[in-house]
Chains A and B, each alone.
Chain A
């Protein structure tokens, strides 16, 4: 019994020695998330417009029904999203929209600091998603 007590005490003492702490001082030091991390969405731009062709695959596949798309045609006769809105309060960050997209127009970034004060701020429109 006493042997086990001593063993436990030695383990905790070893951890007390410097260099054993695994804590990161978060707001001062930030870890880089993994490449596969699913953070805030981003609409990928090309030279003059967004890549998105408003095919409606992402709102269809979205399990949380948080994506709103309204398509329109520009002067060249190409389809583009006149409205592209993601309600981040409903989004579950599953990444299905990224998987479903046929033209790789939407992707997920590493940004995870999304807290804010008003509900309206969480409705991301096309301009905020095009970064």
Chain B
């Protein structure tokens, strides 16, 4: 009996959907919470410190303690702030970060009781486009936070973030274009499927991960997405040395926690997208989602490692890197890919 698609049976479809969303959401929240702990530990050790040690074994309860502390803190809204947008901004940042994960496939299709269950919340045929769109939406959160706080530091942080996100989204987008010129699909699920074949159709022992055919695009994407999620060395919107805390200067309590969560959620999502587009997504030696988790953790470790190592770039260097180096490189990569694709046909 061939398995049928779940969409023919709407109550079952709804239940599996809700279960999938809940599982993904909870896992994401857990990763986000413990990413803060891992980051503090790893950076601590890299700077020959220990990081949190007192709350629980080696500070394992630190994220919970931090969360509780922020939850019970006084929620301050500055009297001159634009209240509606001030409250809206943290959500505008967090929600796109979480819903981007909806298109990430985390395992092969499985058959349960004669029904075909995809291990992905939504298989959009324009998946990559959706990812880029949500990344663009995230910028609004930061801009609104900066503007509605009615503080010079926040505003400067917000403006910086707009300029930065626009310039790096282009580079990130262009680097992905080269990938779906090879894949000829925008669906992340099919991109993963294509990457399970042998490399270039000939090398048996290696998978056809696009990092092998598109190393330049991979590098561009990783650097550009680092800039897009405001991670060190591109964390200019919240440059502590100049802007106090950038766009989240005026925020306190849970709203501040939302910004923090959004930053780490963005990290997880970007890692997942990079793994899916370039490193074969969930394909690998282990069962389904474990491969994806390993790849996500590897990327997150790399991001944390970068943070412990490199100083922040200057603003003009950031703009120069985006417009004068990464954008032309992305275009050259597309042109080269196009030539190769035509020659191969």
Identify whether the interface residues of B are mostly helix, strand, loop, or mixed. Answer: helix
Residues of B within 8 A of A13 (CB): 46, 305
Known interface pairs A21-B50, A23-B48, A23-B49; A9-B309 also in contact (CB < 8 Å): yes
Residues of B within 8 A of A9 (CB): 305-306, 309
Contact A16 B50 (CB under 8 A): no
Known interface pairs A16-B42, A25-B53; A8-B48 also in contact (CB < 8 Å): no
Kindly provide the distance from the CB of B227 to the nearest chain A CB, expressed in whole angstroms.
16
* Residue B72 interfacial (CB < 8 Å): no
Contact B48 A12 (CB under 8 A): no
Identify whether the interface residues of A are mostly helix, strand, loop, or mixed. Answer: helix
A-B contact count (CB 8 A): 34
Contact B309 A15 (CB under 8 A): no
Contact A12 B49 (CB under 8 A): no
Question: Interface centre among A11, A15, A25, by most B CB within 10 Å?
Answer: A15
Known interface pairs A8-B309, A9-B305, A9-B309; A15-B46 also in contact (CB < 8 Å): yes
Contact A15 B47 (CB under 8 A): yes
Assembled-state Cα–Cα distance A49/B50 (Å): 48
Kindly provide the distance from the CB of A31 to the nearest chain B CB, expressed in whole angstroms.
15
Residues of A within 8 A of B319 (CB): none
Kindly provide the distance from the CB of B57 to the nearest chain A CB, expressed in whole angstroms.
13
Assembled-state Cα–Cα distance A23/B47 (Å): 10
User: Which residue of chain B has its CB nearest to the CB of A11?
Assistant: B309
Contact B305 A12 (CB under 8 A): yes
Residues of A within 8 A of B306 (CB): 9
Contact A20 B309 (CB under 8 A): no
A:1-21 near B, CB below 8 Å? 5, 8-9, 11-13, 15-16, 20-21
B interface residue numbers (CB < 8 A to A) = 42, 44-50, 53, 305-306, 308-310
A interface residue numbers (CB < 8 A to B) = 5, 8-9, 11-13, 15-16, 20-23, 25
Q: Which 9 A-B pairs have the closest CB atoms?
A: A12-B46, A12-B309, A23-B50, A8-B309, A22-B48, A12-B308, A16-B45, A15-B46, A23-B49
